[in-house]
Amino acid sequence: MNIILLGPPGAGKGTQAQFLVEDRGMVQLSTGDMLREARTSGTEMGNRVAEVMDRGDLVTDEIVIGLIREKLETVDAPGFIFDGFPRTLKQADALGELLEEMGKSLDFVIELRVEDEALVKRIVGRAEEAAAAGKPVRADDNEESLRTRLTAYYKMTSPLVGYYYAKGLYSRVDGMAAMEDVRAELGARLDG
């Protein structure tokens, strides 16, 4: 079973993906993690990633798809969770073609829906708690940065909702519910 988790920054995708890893043995494919891992791997693909990132350029879709292909070919798992990819329709097409070519399918696209104002309060509050406890705080965990990230997320990914809805793969879960309730709802959707 292969799924895509959609949701704005701070919606809880990483947390829910970890639950799916624990509960179902799935493998989370976070593009950010894969790029950081590739950069230090010493492989041919890793050297390409490092070169692009060192120049300060954005990594191309072709490279990201290459990294995903590598993972799908080398990691044995009952399913994959795509986290942070695709972000655009072009990437969605590329992922669909890759999965088809490998004899795999995409089974679900689940969006964690959140209210922007509540999300801003959640993230800013989390950052303030971390700072008060002397823990590291992400530089972009402030209201202005978060609103910018939210705008970018909606611009880029809103077309994906219609794209996957038309394919009969899209559904959404209330990301504002309690963490365990979201976990249970996700599980119920996947067991459908």
Question: Among 126, 147, 167, 172, which one carries the catalytic annotation?
Answer: 126
Question: Among 122, 149, 172, 189, which one carries the catalytic annotation?
Answer: 149
Question: Among 69, 113, 138, 189, which one carries the catalytic annotation?
Answer: 138
* Catalytic-residue membership of 71: no
Whats the size of the chain, residue-wise? 192
* Catalytic-residue membership of 126: yes
Question: Among 39, 48, 87, 183, which one carries the catalytic annotation?
Answer: 87
Question: Among 13, 39, 48, 183, which one carries the catalytic annotation?
Answer: 13
Which residues are annotated as catalytic? Answer: 13, 87, 126, 138, 149
